[in-house]
Amino acid sequence: MEIYSLTKSIPMNKVQHLLITGASSGIGRIAAQRLEEGGHRLTLVCRSRERAREALEWVAPNTTVVLADLADLTSVDQLCSSLQSRAEPLDGLVLNAGLQYAGYKEPRWSSQGFELTVAVNHLAHQLLLMRLLPMLLKSTSPRLVITASEVHNPASGGGRVGRPASLGDLSGLLTTTPAPMLDGNSRFDADKAYKDSKLCNMLMGLHAAKLHPQLPVISWSPGLVIPRSSGGFFRESRRANPLGQALFGFVARDLLRITESVDNAGERLAQLVLEHGDTGFRYWCNTLVKPGQHRFELTEPSPEACDSVKAERLWTLSQERIDAALSG
């Protein structure tokens, strides 16, 4: 794999306190293990007691494992209150957890009645970001890292397959009744819902950088990562269509060789977490160059992901829906 060098990283003798979602498996776990090897102090967010028990079997002694179900905003809010009570700085916030359930014909809903993909991938992470920003800004070298995807861009390889990402006028966040799609379309499409959630990740990062110019914000795409294990990111899609997902994984990973390995993607995430480059918003993409080879480089986001007006509107509407859900 060809790697474009990142800017200077934080000295390894400077211990960082890093909070990571989605670190109990997949690329998040690999990144967490690499960061632990560097002596950094981690707080790993697990969605269930079972996942937490599994994590406790491999984490380092100075790593803390906490519980929060990202499909339940109340659970996320309670975690934030617990973390804030410790009154300590947070050097890095790594919003890495993700959910996709392609193959389902009907929407699934979060505890507060939001479509599950946008609830987990976007709303829960915006709540974490809003609540934990004061802790992050106390650090002398803060950074925000968000795992997005190239599929946010309709011009990308993955973005061209199926209905493209587009948030429209965000009317799906304006309704008082549950909306299956963020653009207000009543026809649910699980694949598009995922693409839209990744576009939300990009816009959230863009607006966070605007609100806090001193904060380095990195969104990134790991490429298409299809692990051989049954858990992790594709767990829901495999339940809906086990044979189809197995065939897709075999063709993409083993025949066409267009996927990235879990280990390599996790290494890239660990690199980004320790980077202390320029402030502002940047997007790194692990671009497929040819079968079996990727190039990791700074990339221009899609035009919609660069829309600062839409980014502010998404942030504001999301905050309003989060606040209403938590007060209801």
> Is residue 104 annotated as a catalytic residue, yes or no?
no
Please list the residues that pair with 2 across neighbouring strands: 295
Token pair belonging to 145 = 């890292």
Strand order from edge to edge, sheet including 17-21:
2-3, 293-298, 280-290, 216-221, 143-147, 92-95, 17-21, 41-46, 64-67
Q: For residue 3, what are the β-bridge partners? A: 296
Nearest to 119 by CA among 129, 109, 107: 109
Q: Which H or E element spans position 285?
A: strand 280-290
Residues 44 and 63: their CA atoms lie apart, in Å, by: 7
Q: Which of 4, 101, 104, 194 is catalytic?
A: 194
Q: How far apart are CA 52 and CA 320, in angstroms?
A: 31
Please enumerate in sequence order all residues whose Cβ is within 8 A of that of 296, keeping only pairs 6 or more positions apart, or say none: 1, 2, 3, 4, 268, 284, 285, 286, 287
Local structure of 27: helix, strand or coil: helix
> Which residues are part of the catalytic machinery?
194
